[in-house]
Structure 1
Amino acid sequence: MGKCKFNENWLFSQEFSPWLKPVPGNIYEARCILCRKSFKLGTMGIKAVESHMRSAKHKASKSGYRETAGISQFCSTLVSATPPRPSPASTTAAEAPDLRLITGGTPTIKAEKEMADHARAVAKEAVLKPSCALPENMPKIRGYDFNQGVDLRAVLNSYLTTGFQASSLALAIQEINRMIEKRLEPVEVEEVNESEESCGSSHKSGCTIFLGYTSNLISSGVRESIRYLAEHKMVDVIVTTAGGIEEDLIKCLAHTYLGDFSLCGKELRLQGINRIGNLLVPNDNYCKFEDWLMPILDQMVLEQKTEGIRWTPSKFIHRLGKEINNTDSVYYWAYKNNIPVFSPALTDGSLGDMIYFHSFKNPGLVLDIVEDIRRMNGMAIFAKKTGMIILGGGLVKHHIANANLMRNGADYSVFVNTGQEFDGSDSGARPDEAISWGKIRADAKPVKGSSDIAAAALLLAMALSSLKVAMLDHYSWCMQTPLWFSLSLWPRPSLCTPTS
């Protein structure tokens, strides 16, 4: 039968939708585009259509349609349908619909031209839809031009206009810049009171920065970047897991090696090799760690019994940093610079194994987590401003955020992880969820970067080290001038200044 079309009168009057829809029984259905009434077009279909077109309801719909939408733009719509081919085994010629009763004839040349013009106009309008004007100050996408040479500051600046997670990382750097600016603002000594000193927060700054990270970062080369931050006192509080403590200390005793993600676990186990992603840690490393740690635990038990020392996880870590006495260690520098390190799950790792084994040989060691939670929460409560830099998720993320809940939320926040929020986990939750809990202030501008932390943390550390030099130079100058004058000229340095 081929393709069939409406007759010229139906085409120009545009009373029916530009399609035919087959319904059971090989009867076709058409719909009036004005009043949405449907018709089954069989042998009596034309009469029903003509009757509807003369009805008052249809004429009223048509009049309203002309006033609102303008019927002229819908004229000459291409209307066609291909009826299903009847199966020879099940349908006879007498049962097939008489399409002549439906179509009424063949469209004229004029009608076909109108159809083509309309089709072109509809497609053009859809494809070339006009845009609204964007703000003049909206950043324009442009990457770094290496014809300018390699300039670290300029490369990091270009991240903001690179797009995707590069822009997220640039926003994270901006947020960290704001933390450091606030942290370097002078604070009057008399603002520190006895309550704060009892909470271990006598070190006062314009912004107390909490740094949290998971153990895998210490296992990796990110450890050296974190050590740099502790060495140069760029953070005030550290929170990590048991692995984040022990892996740093073990690296002072033996090496971790680069392997491959696809190495066979069974074969590695037979050889006494432990795999952390594509990192390899010989099991002998933990034997050396045990030999080093056991005498320290003995001494701690002795001091507890003879001197009445009440050990906490943070005091334990402080002692380990002192005993390791190695400048490669994060916790050596935390000890030297009096940066408290909190690890509420300290027994969840090799440290827990050693404490367990030691408890049989020399029982009695007690670690008080209550004193630690009072101390950490107090540091958040009495801080002038707080900032959170959280690399990874899980315990460290929630422990820092929950401490900031005690002060109605952190002022500055940066999360870097690859977690997603769709499983309801805290690890993957966006900062906006923390705002709902009061862990980030409602007027804050938190940033989450979805990135491999091993890459992102190195860039963040480079940005911080570059910024630190510039800001400390200016800060030293400020200290030689009147306070009101230095603050009035305080710059707003940023490695990622938005560009238009």
Structure 2
Amino acid sequence: MEHKTPATESIGLQIPSEIQDSVLQKSTSMPENSVPIKGINFEKKKEITLSDILESYRTTGLQATNLNKAIEIINKMLVDGVKIYLGYTSNMVTSGLREIFCYLAKNNLISCIVTSAGGIEEDFIKCLADTYLGDFKLDGKTLRKKGLNRAGNLLIPNDNYCKFEDWINPILDDMVAEQKEKGTIFSPSSIINRLGKEINNEDSVYYWCYKNNIPVFCPALTDGSIGDMIYFHGFKNPGFIVDIAQDIKKINDSTVFAQKAEVMRNGADYAVYVSTAQEFDGCDSGASPDEAISWGKIKLDGEAVKVFSDASLVFPLIVSETFVKFLAEKN
């Protein structure tokens, strides 16, 4: 049997049934609650705000919709008053996102920070000297000869680390003396707390963490410049001990006794990822929220989303529609 469609009837064509069945498969009806895709109409309003654009992302599709969902989830976190754990990598602190992290810590909008060694030291280094805007195409050999380190299109002079060493060495002296005289054993989080106190600079993320008693966890604290400083310092003043086991207890206790937690209480209620990493190689940074559910890191009925994007692009947008508005309404 041959079939005709309005389009083919007008030109006298007949379509064989096998083609009709495979190519022109009839659609099922969409559910009543289906959301049509629709972007922002710049002709509809004379003045379009950032909030208007971000709200339109809900029905824009692709990563725009995921970004809108991230904003929605974080706003639920704030309304519910849950503990909010902020995690980021060192390049985020090297970039201008550091100022946003500082804002969140200063205003007590987060409960805890988890980061890498570079995410700690770059904050203190920026209190001592500037990081500069460069270019992704700058030649590595030329930069090396000039004593300049490149992180993407960011440039950090070697002199910055010399200034960091001059600043941290007297503090390490005091901490070693305290260990020998009082038996104090420092954990990574207590070292960061001490450095936040010593930097005494309101531009520092960890100064505000110290002031507001926000714990900062960095299991691999020695995997960076701080590790180099501890190593070199040990030649003239040996014996410094860092106990990472203390922090395992601290961070697990903070979740076990929290109303909303993670794996120690069968998963987090909410999770927002912002990452460019993919999951094809099985790395944790590229994992999807669904993978985290399989490990019990997110609850079976938890709300989670992953935004595939460079955080330097979208994190300021997320914060402007969540924490900033929350604080303004609170005050």
Give me the TM-score of the superposition, normalised by structure 2. 0.92
CA apart distance, 1:415:
1.0
Residue 161 in 1 paired to residue 161 in 2?
no
Residue 373 in 1 paired to residue 248 in 2?
yes
Q: In structure 1, which of residues 418, 439, 443 is the aligned counterpart of residue 301 of structure 2?
A: 443
What letter is aligned with 2:139? C
CA apart distance, 1:367:
1.1
Q: Distance in 2 between matches of 1:119 and 1:461?
A: 55
CA apart distance, 1:257:
0.7
Structure 2 matches for 1:23-422, cutoff 5 A? 72-73=1-2, 117-119=13-15, 129-146=25-42, 147-183=45-81, 207-386=82-261, 404-422=262-280
Bigger-Rg structure (1/2): 1
CA apart distance, 1:143:
2.2
Task: List gaps (5 residues or longer) in structure 2.
Answer: 4-11
The residue that corresponds to 2:6 in the other structure is none
Task: List gaps (5 residues or longer) in structure 1.
Answer: 1-71, 75-115, 184-206, 387-403, 474-500
- Alignment root-mean-square deviation, CA: 1.9
Q: Distance in 1 between matches of 2:121 and 2:245?
A: 22
Q: CA offsets, 1:440-467, max 9 Å, x none?
A: 1111121111111111111112112343
Q: CA offsets, 1:277-308, max 9 Å, x none?
A: 11011100000000011000001111222222
Q: Cα distance 1:119–1:315, how it changes in 2: closer, same or farther (>3 A)?
A: same
What letter is aligned with 1:460? I
Work out whether residues 2 and 17 of structure 2, in 8 Å CA contact, stay in contact via their aligned partners in 1.
no
CA apart distance, 1:120:
7.1
* Stretches (4+) displaced over 4 A: 120-129
Q: Distance in 1 between matches of 2:158 and 2:28?
A: 63
Q: CA offsets, 1:302-335, max 9 Å, x none?
A: 1222222221110100011111111111001101
SS of 1:309 mapped into structure 2: coil
Work out whether residues 242 and 351 of structure 1, in 8 Å CA contact, stay in contact via their aligned partners in 2.
yes
Q: Cα distance 1:408–1:471, how it changes in 2: closer, same or farther (>3 A)?
A: farther
CA apart distance, 1:73:
4.5
SS of 1:141 mapped into structure 2: coil
Q: Distance in 2 between matches of 1:221 and 1:323?
A: 23
Q: Distance in 1 between matches of 2:104 and 2:96?
A: 14
What letter is aligned with 2:303? K
SS of 2:192 mapped into structure 1: helix
Q: Distance in 2 between matches of 1:464 and 1:418?
A: 22
Q: Distance in 1 between matches of 2:328 and 2:2?
A: 64
Work out whether residues 273 and 283 of structure 1, in 8 Å CA contact, stay in contact via their aligned partners in 2.
yes
CA apart distance, 1:276:
0.3
Number of aligned residues:
321
Q: Cα distance 1:137–1:467, how it changes in 2: closer, same or farther (>3 A)?
A: farther
Q: Distance in 2 between matches of 1:436 and 1:425?
A: 15
What letter is aligned with 1:314? S
SS of 2:155 mapped into structure 1: strand
Work out whether residues 153 and 466 of structure 1, in 8 Å CA contact, stay in contact via their aligned partners in 2.
no
Q: Distance in 2 between matches of 1:220 and 1:117?
A: 62
What letter is aligned with 2:40? Y
User: What percent identity do the matched residue pairs reach?
Assistant: 56
SS of 1:139 mapped into structure 2: coil
Q: Distance in 2 between matches of 1:145 and 1:300?
A: 60
Q: Distance in 2 between matches of 1:230 and 1:138?
A: 40
Q: CA offsets, 1:48-105, max 9 Å, x none?
A: xxxxxxxxxxxxxxxxxxxxxxxx459xxxxxxxxxxxxxxxxxxxxxxxxxxxxxxx
Q: CA offsets, 1:12-36, max 9 Å, x none?
A: xxxxxxxxxxxxxxxxxxxxxxxxx
What letter is aligned with 1:140? P
What letter is aligned with 2:309? S
Q: In structure 2, which of residues 313, 323, 329 is the aligned counterpart of residue 465 of structure 1?
A: 323
